[in-house]
């Protein structure tokens, strides 16, 4: 319980789901831009990772707990199509779809949008690893939490 | 208007005010940490800047509009006391108090907290500049928007 | 001229050419790693960009001069295969081959290596743009400086 | 041994000493700048850390070895005076003086320069810690390596 003089501090959002799609709002700050006036291309990968992390957080999987179980993720492949540039003060949305799990591999499709515009279209493959870097299968618990959000059989 | 199948996408928060103090929630992601397991010290300056920027946004001052008026800010001095370390998944709050304006200088006091713990205590001095780097006085419009949030005369 | 008591300060390297391949050494610091102990995946894109920039610097094309001619570059596509992870203190080499220029597009093949190991294999497509973001053809001067380093006709 | 067709790849510099001052060259790339055209202020802290790390490397202390001995460093205080701004393509020098060691604390004075200009003057206090975050005294071996570079008694 909090008293009037000590109100609850605001919590960061972990995004929302719209169907199978997880949506995380991201603001563009000074740190994100470069001297050409637009967002530095490598920084979009930070927003993609925030989207994947908050998707996990939203379905009840936390990186800190995973780390205690000697489990993490590494990206092994990315295909990135940069379509439009973001600028200072922009409000973006990171849209994350976990497509499928095959052995130690997770296939993710992500978009970054601003209003109706798609700024970035990204396909990523992550592998589940031990913290010493060896591939390891996701635990049944993690798979159970992911299963409802994966692409249904037969859909493309 | 949005239809059920096309709901409004989530917006990033610009934080809230609690009295004169602006509070911005910040989540710690992979990108923020380093190999020692904690947040890399330079990254706290990114959160401080997000706090100052969203304070401005919340009172109706935007960096993109300022830039169109050939106005920006540069930090000229910082004093930073790092007290505790943040870790992956932490939910922090950036607390920003604009103290006073003296000519082209803005004095800011900021804290970063996690629950009841203060992680960082920071005093910063920013100067209002033209985009070619010359000091310039804040516009009367900007000063009018800041005035209600500055430290009252006689208070310390 | 410098005196014995005021020696010339060291200059950053812009890398070296080995045949058509530009090689830039990169050191891994605290800032590059994350809590899992390895380099954060998005940071490799920073090293790739350093490699492309220093390739340009080495052949006499500078970003600051280009900006004065209202010219910059934007990445529109990347394919990234992350094969092994780098760690704190590692000495890497960014290997950059400019493959070909087609209209406003530049095709680049890059690798990041540590000793004999390939850590990252990357194909990128950059477009030459004005600083307001419109595509524009590289100047004849820029093309003349790039031409000797492109893939010879008939080679793959 | 290397063959003519497979020359040794270039190594990143760890800087040079000029008297007690360690000098590390740093290049400004796209990643370092922001939309106002200058280097984002928080990024200077990355260069300062590179300077401190390469000072250590140059005197034979490595972060990876320290980590194996459950030892790292945390910054607990910084005073930063930002005097001038750096821009794309600039060649800077990070100048690092380790001043003194008191118990678990290391006092460092650093400057970042461009030619004759001082861009940043920084005083930092680091503490030696275990990787779980507890203060611990530097090992005699580390102290022996640092001792020749500290400020002589009586000097200020």
Report the residue from A9, A87, A93 with minimal CB separation from B9: A93
| pLDDT band for position C109 (cuts 50, 70, 90) | very high
Contact in structure between D18 and C5 (CB atoms under 8 Å): no
Quick check: C46 contacting A, CB < 8 Å? yes
Quick check: B76 contacting D, CB < 8 Å? yes
Nearest CA in chain C to A77: C81
pLDDT per residue as tens digits for the range B118-127: 999 999 999 9
What's A148's DSSP letter? G
Q: What's the gap in Å between the CA of A56 and the closest CA on chain B?
A: 11
Q: In the annotation, is C121 catalytic?
A: no
On whether residue A42 sits in a domain, the answer given is yes
Quick check: C132 contacting B, CB < 8 Å? no
Number of domains in chain A: 1
Mean pLDDT of chain C: 92
| pLDDT band for position B142 (cuts 50, 70, 90) | very high
CA nearest neighbour of C114 among D9, A90, D111? D9
Determine the pLDDT at residue C4: 46
Number of Cβ atoms within 10 Å of the Cβ of C101: 18
pLDDT exceeds 70 at position B4: no
The DSSP bridge partners found for residue C15 are none
Q: What SS3 string covers chain D? A: CCCCCCCCCCCCCCCEEECCEEEEEEECCHHHECCCCEECCCHHHHHHHHHHHHHHHHCCCCHHHHHHCCCEEEEEEEEEEECCCCECCCEEEEEEEEEEEECCEEEEEEEEEECCEEEEEEEEEEEEECCCCCECCCCHHHHHHHHHHCCCCCCC
pLDDT exceeds 50 at position B1: no
Nearest CA in chain D to A36: D35
Report the residue from C9, C26, C29 with minimal CB separation from D93: C9
Determine the pLDDT at residue B2: 40
- Element spanning A26, H or E: strand A21-27
**C42 with B31: Cβ contact below 8 A:** yes
ipTM: 0.92
pLDDT per residue as tens digits for the range A3-49: 444 557 899 999 999 999 999 999 999 999 999 889 999 999 999 99
Give the helix ranges, DSSP H, for chain C. Answer: 43-58, 63-68, 140-146
Chain A contact set for C37 (CB, 8 A): 131
Determine the pLDDT at residue C15: 97
Contact in structure between C136 and C127 (CB atoms under 8 Å): no
pLDDT exceeds 90 at position D17: yes
Q: What SS3 string covers C76-114? A: EEEEEEECCCCECCCEEEEEEEEEEEECCEEEEEEEEEE
Determine the pLDDT at residue C128: 95
- With a CB cutoff of 8 Å and minimum separation 6, the contacts of C85 are A74, A133, C38, C39, C119
Determine the pLDDT at residue C6: 52
Distance CA B122, CA B15 (A): 19
**A27 with B49: Cβ contact below 8 A:** no
The DSSP bridge partners found for residue B73 are B128
On whether residue C98 sits in a domain, the answer given is yes
Distance CA A147, CA A65 (A): 19
Distance CA A44, CA A38 (A): 11
Nearest CA in chain D to B85: D133
Determine the pLDDT at residue B3: 44
| pLDDT band for position D65 (cuts 50, 70, 90) | confident
Distance CA B97, CA B146 (A): 11
Determine the pLDDT at residue D5: 47
Chain A contact set for C45 (CB, 8 A): 41-42, 45
Contact in structure between B77 and D80 (CB atoms under 8 Å): yes
Mutate to test the interface with A, among C70, C78, C125 (most CBs of A within 10 A): C78
On whether residue A13 sits in a domain, the answer given is no
On whether residue A121 sits in a domain, the answer given is yes
Q: What's the gap in Å between the CA of A154 and the closest CA on chain B?
A: 22
Mutate to test the interface with A, among C40, C41, C67 (most CBs of A within 10 A): C41
Nearest CA in chain D to A37: D35
CA atoms within 13 A on the CB side of C150: 14
Subunits adjacent to chain B (3 or more Cβ pairs under 8 Å): A, C, D
Quick check: A46 contacting D, CB < 8 Å? no
**C74 with A38: Cβ contact below 8 A:** yes
Quick check: B118 contacting D, CB < 8 Å? no
Determine the pLDDT at residue A6: 52
pLDDT per residue as tens digits for the range B53-112: 999 999 999 888 888 888 889 999 999 999 999 999 999 999 999 999 999 999 999 999
CA nearest neighbour of A115 among A142, A149, A144, A92? A92
Question: Once rounded to an integer, what is the mean pLDDT over residues C46-75?
Answer: 93
Which of A48-52, A107-111, B72-76, C75-79 has the lowest average pLDDT?
A: B72-76
Residue D80 belongs to what domain range? 20-149
Q: Can you give the CATH number for the domain in which D28 is found?
A: 3.10.129.10
On whether residue A84 sits in a domain, the answer given is yes
Distance CA B154, CA B139 (A): 25
pLDDT exceeds 50 at position A2: no
| pLDDT band for position D60 (cuts 50, 70, 90) | very high
Quick check: B38 contacting C, CB < 8 Å? yes
Report the residue from A37, A77, A82 with minimal CB separation from C75: A82
Chain D contact set for C63 (CB, 8 A): 30, 88-89
On whether residue D88 sits in a domain, the answer given is yes
Chain B contact set for D81 (CB, 8 A): 76-77
Chain D contact set for A31 (CB, 8 A): 34, 40, 42
How large is the greatest C-alpha to C-alpha distance in chain A, in angstroms? 56
Distance CA A78, CA C78 (A): 8
Quick check: A45 contacting D, CB < 8 Å? no
Distance CA A35, CA A45 (A): 19
Report the residue from B35, B42, B133 with minimal CB separation from D49: B42
Nearest CA in chain A to C126: A82
Which of B61-75, C4-18, C86-100, D63-77 has the lowest average pLDDT?
A: C4-18
Question: Once rounded to an integer, what is the mean pLDDT over residues C124-133?
Answer: 91
Determine the pLDDT at residue C39: 97
Question: Once rounded to an integer, what is the mean pLDDT over residues C21-32?
Answer: 98
Quick check: B30 contacting C, CB < 8 Å? yes
| pLDDT band for position C69 (cuts 50, 70, 90) | confident
pLDDT per residue as tens digits for the range D66-116: 888 888 899 999 999 999 999 999 999 999 999 999 999 999 999 999 999
Positive or negative torsion for Cα B131, B133, B134, B139: positive
Determine the pLDDT at residue C7: 59
Chain C contact set for D46 (CB, 8 A): 29, 31
Q: What's the gap in Å between the CA of B38 and the closest CA on chain D?
A: 9
On whether residue D133 sits in a domain, the answer given is yes
| Pairing of β B105-114 and β B91-102 | antiparallel
Residues of chain D above pLDDT 70, percent: 95
Quick check: A121 contacting C, CB < 8 Å? no
pLDDT exceeds 60 at position D3: no
Mean pLDDT of chain A: 92
What's B150's DSSP letter? S
Contact in structure between C33 and C27 (CB atoms under 8 Å): no
On whether residue C102 sits in a domain, the answer given is yes
Determine the pLDDT at residue B40: 97
Mean pLDDT of chain D: 92
């Amino acid at each position: 319980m909090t008293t009037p003089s000590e109100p609850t501090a605001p919590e960061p959002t972990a995004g929302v789901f719209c169907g199978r799609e997880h949506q995380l709002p991201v603001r563009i700050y000074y740190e994100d831009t470069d001297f050409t006036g637009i967002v530095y291309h490598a920084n979009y990968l930070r927003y993609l990772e925030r989207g994947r992390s908050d998707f996990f957080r939203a379905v009840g999987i936390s990186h800190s707990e995973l780390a205690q179980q000697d489990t993490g993720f590494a990206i092994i492949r990315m295909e990135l199509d940069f379509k439009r540039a973001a600028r200072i003060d922009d409000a973006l949305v990171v849209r994350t779809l976990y497509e499928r799990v095959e052995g130690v591999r997770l296939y993710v499709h992500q978009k970054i949008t601003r209003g109706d515009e798609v700024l970035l279209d990204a396909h990523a493959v992550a592998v589940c690893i031990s913290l010493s870097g060896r591939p390891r299968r996701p635990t049944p618990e993690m798979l159970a939490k992911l299963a409802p959000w994966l692409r249904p059989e037969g859909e493309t």
